[in-house]
Amino acid sequence: MATTVMSVAEICAGAKRASRELARTGSDVRNAALCAIAGALLARSAEILEANALDLEAGREAGLSSALLDRLALDARRIAGIVAGVRAIVALPDPVGEVIDGFRRPNGLEIRKVLVPLGVIAVVYEARPNVTIDAAALCLKSGNAIVLRGSSSAVHSNAILSQVAAEAASGAGIPDGAITLVQGGGREELVELATQAASLDLIIPRGGEGLKNALAEHATVPVIYAASGNCHIYVDAAADLELARRVVVNAKVQRPGVCNAAETLLVHSAIAAEFLPAVARELEQAGVELRGDDRARRFARPVELEQASAQDWDSEYLALILAVAVVDSLDVAVEHIAAHGTGHSEAIITRDHAAARAFQHTVDAACIYVNASTRFTDGGEFGMGAEIGNSTQKLHARGPIGLRELCAFKYLIEGDGQLRS
């Protein structure tokens, strides 16, 4: 396995060599390697938890929030969940070689459009060590080599997880260098990784706007941004208010430190007086800090809301904080989302079919929900296995980045001597 003794360029070049061999590796070998990784994670769980404890201790000393510590933490249940995710990926159909179109030309040429691995994918991520395995498993299943670069907050966890995965995969017949980790370093190292166009085919960043901006400034390698999620829930005038209450609380409270958690609640003025006091009370009891505009603060009484600032509408809190605004129409809600959303996941709660369809057609985001929590934006919940992230852009991949999104395509043309005249 690569370590920081090797330069970033050397690690990426090694991954490129491995990718060419990996492209010829059959699905049975790749699946066997994934099974080996799952078994090794369970067998070495004590080592993994010991390393994670070091990261958690350092995180507490550094003053990380409870939500960020939750993202960082591993335990036996979460390791079992990671293992289950790997095994779920094994069970998925292999996308490599899938024919997505095929036809015969009048001149006799047989043309097939087939899915193929992208090649070498670098995944740059923050805090959550489970991404190390999720990303490696998805890349391996789809025939791609992977270069991992985690954050300093999970340095020990990422090191042992990547080591376990790389050693298990190598023992099952996967070429050395197919799973590698760039460890340590700072901005200079990130810039170097982002400019390895000769070796890397794609970079996928998972993190905040700072990481996204750093890559946008320097990257010469194509980037799919698994970007931040300033997710909204709009409670329409025609909403079932009990359903709305349950959805809002789930979307904010169930796991606040993730990109598909709700960060802003928009409530139609026609039902604000009835809806806001009840939902605000339950959110407050769950430990949520509420920040509202003037009308939200008035309608929510007796619950006291803090005054929202202009910055609140653009914030991905990743914590038990929720911005609340009252709007006078669906159109105003859509305008607010257009101005402040990040294109991740947006929801409307309504029993009005026309309002639901208008929201679906006019809101520009990767995932649009009607009467359901935004927390379902996830590759596993969509039946795609684990995911590397959720793309908020529109080219190549949008929404959860699963196996098929880690493939490109090529045309395979077969003839028997045809010449163009």
Whether 406 and 355 map to the same domain: the answer is: no
Whether 167 and 237 map to the same domain: the answer is: no
Whether 128 and 252 map to the same domain: the answer is: no
Number of domains in the chain: 2
Whether 147 and 276 map to the same domain: the answer is: no
Whether 346 and 266 map to the same domain: the answer is: yes
Res 176: pLDDT:
96
Query: Which residue has tokens 């079992």?
Result: 80
Whether 31 and 180 map to the same domain: the answer is: yes
Q: Is residue 352 part of a domain?
A: yes
3-state secondary structure at position 120 = strand
- Which CATH number characterizes residue 333's domain? 3.40.309.10
Token readout for 380 is 């596993």
pLDDT by residue for the chain (421 residues), tens only, comes to 444 468 999 999 999 999 999 999 999 999 999 999 999 999 999 999 999 999 999 999 999 988 789 889 999 999 999 999 999 999 999 999 999 999 999 999 999 999 999 999 999 988 789 999 999 999 999 999 999 999 889 999 999 999 999 999 999 999 999 999 998 657 788 899 999 999 999 999 887 777 888 888 889 999 998 767 999 999 999 999 999 999 999 999 999 988 999 999 999 999 999 999 999 999 999 999 999 999 999 999 999 999 999 999 999 999 999 999 999 999 999 999 999 999 999 999 999 999 999 999 999 999 999 999 999 999 889 988 778 888 988 888 899 999 999 999 999 999 999 999 9
Token readout for 113 is 């459009």
Alpha-carbon dihedral of residues 343, 347, 352, 354, nearest 10 degrees?
Answer: 10
Q: Which is it for the CA torsion 341, 138, 21, 397, positive or negative?
A: negative
Q: Which domain holds residue 166?
A: 8-221+399-414
